[in-house]
Structure formats: structure tokens, C-alpha cells
Amino acid sequence: MKPVIEVENLVKKFGNFVANDSLTFSVFPGEIFGFLGANGAGKTTTIKILCGLSAPTSGKVSVAGYDVYRHSELIKKNIGYMSQKFSLYEDLSITENFQFYGGIYGLSRNEIRERTKALLNRLDFLKAQNEVLRNIPQGWKQKLAFSVAVMHQPKVVFLDEPTGGVDPITRRQFWELIYEQAHNGTTIFVTTHYMDEAEYCGRVSIMVDGKIEALDSPEKLKNQFAVNSMNDVFVKLARAAK
């Protein structure tokens, strides 16, 4: 199978600081790929490069079959992105946010209406659809941000710490959404701090100081490091950090 994300020797420098130090990895269609690392390890930098928000310093990067240097706008048609910082419009209502992003991605008014209805129905948010986002609890907002990111049915969706600051029940529900989306064939690229969430991923990579130190399925990684949980794998690797 042809990978949907292909990264080879990706380097990103900010002045003298090397945020991404020759990363090489591939992600395959329909996969849930966990992108782990401590704070400041360089996860967000990588995600921004993959989404075409930031230009790489060097290396080969292709997403959804397009080269990130030459066709970043074509990539954008095929991806969804959920930022670490909530970035929907707080002064617009739920439906208005869906309408705006649906419109930007070129969906017809009909498609927007139907998909908004289906997504809100799935989240059980239909009653609150005219509520302005400012008045909505954090956990709801995260689910909405996810729904907006997948509304145009992208090939890959990038989630940057999607469950930060969210209660365990909502986190659980959030991962159900992720699973459903992956089941429909969308590739999920997710960063997280929660090691229980890492167990839900098909494969995970662990980044330390801008380098990928481990990459495999959670089972194999636990065997490789002879520990019982992803938490222990992570601690073993992260402890070696500068």
C-alpha cells in the first residue's frame, strides 16, 4: 500500500535551534498514527509542516500524494487540521462555524446543511446548534473542532493534542469519534500526552529532542523495552532527553 504521508530526512531549524532533526517515517491510509513526545520535543513543528502552515528547512515531505514544497494548496484540500489551541470562531454559533468552513472547502449549501445535521446528530448537539461557541463547555468545543476538521471528508486529519484539558469521559467519547472516522478510511495523525491514548493507536512514534527515537505498534514497543505500559516506554525514552 502507498503511504499517505511520506517524510524523509525532514529538518526544521529556527535559527540555530533544530526543532526537527532528520525525521523519517511513513503513515498508511486508514491508520491511526500516534505522534508522541514530551513538551517541546518538536511535535507541533512537524504537524505544522505536514499541514503546510510552516515551510521545512530541508528534507522530502509529501502528504496525500502531493509535495509540500510545490503543492501545499492541493494538500490543504485533502487534509483536516485541529490545532492545539482552539481556533473556531467563538463569536459565531455552531452552525455558522460549520457553514463557514464548509463554504471555504467548496461544499454546496445542501451538502453543508446535510453534513452539519449528521455531525451534530452524532454528537447529540442539535439542540445547541444556534448557541454561540463562547458559551459552550471546553469538551464540547473539542468535539466540534474535530467535526469541523473532518466535515469536508479529508484523506488525512491532523489532531494536535485534541484532548488537552478534557475530562476522562469526554476523552473516551472523543476517541470513539476518532475510531469511527478511521473506520471510514480517514487516516488519523494524532499527538497526545496521555499514554493511555497511545495504546489506542495502531502505531506510535516517540520523539525526543527533535528526533524520532522509537516507532512501532504499542505492543511491539512494550516488548522491545520490556515494560508493561506505554507510559513506561515513554518514561524510559524521555528520561534520556537533554
Partner 1 sequence: MRTVIFILQKEFRQIFRDKIMLPIIFIVPVVQLLILSYTATFEIKNTRIVIVDQDHSQASRELVFHFESSSFFKVVARQQNYQQASEWLQNGDADQLIVIEADFEKKIKTNQPAKVLLVTDAINGSAASLMNAYAQQVIQGFNKNLLAEQIPLQNKPIQIKVEPLFWYNPKLNYITYMVPGILVLLVTIIGFFLSGMNIVKEKEMGTIEQINVTPIKKWQFITGKLLPFWLIALFDLVFGLGIAKVVFNIPFLGSFPLLMGVAAVYLLVVLAMGLLVSNLSDTMQQSMFISWFFLVIFILMSGLFTPIESMPEWAQWFNKINPIAYFITINRMIMLKGSGFSDFSESFYVLSAYAILILMLAVNRYKKVKA
Interacting residue ranges for partner 1, rule: CB under 8 A: 48, 51-55, 72-74, 76-77, 79-81, 83, 85-92, 96, 99-101, 103-106, 148
3-state secondary structure of 136: coil
Count of residues in the chain: 242
For residue 156, what are the β-bridge partners? 79, 187
Tell me whether residue 83 or residue 192 sits nearer to partner 1 (CB atom): 83
Tell me whether residue 41 or residue 75 sits nearer to partner 1 (CB atom): 75
Alpha carbon separation from 129 to 92, 100, 149 (Å, rounded)? 11, 14, 17
Tell me whether residue 83 or residue 208 sits nearer to partner 1 (CB atom): 83
CB of 105 to partner 1, least distance (A): 6
3-state secondary structure of 127: helix
Residue 197 neighbours by CB under 8 Å, 6+ apart: 34, 163, 171, 175, 190
CB of 43 to partner 1, least distance (A): 15
Tell me whether residue 53 or residue 238 sits nearer to partner 1 (CB atom): 53
CB of 89 to partner 1, least distance (A): 6
Tell me whether residue 69 or residue 179 sits nearer to partner 1 (CB atom): 69
CB of 140 to partner 1, least distance (A): 17
Tell me whether residue 153 or residue 231 sits nearer to partner 1 (CB atom): 153
3-state secondary structure of 9: strand
3-state secondary structure of 149: helix
Residue 219 neighbours by CB under 8 Å, 6+ apart: none
| Residue 86, all three cell numbers | 482552539
CB of 29 to partner 1, least distance (A): 20
CB of 72 to partner 1, least distance (A): 6
Give me the residue label for grid cell 500500500.
1
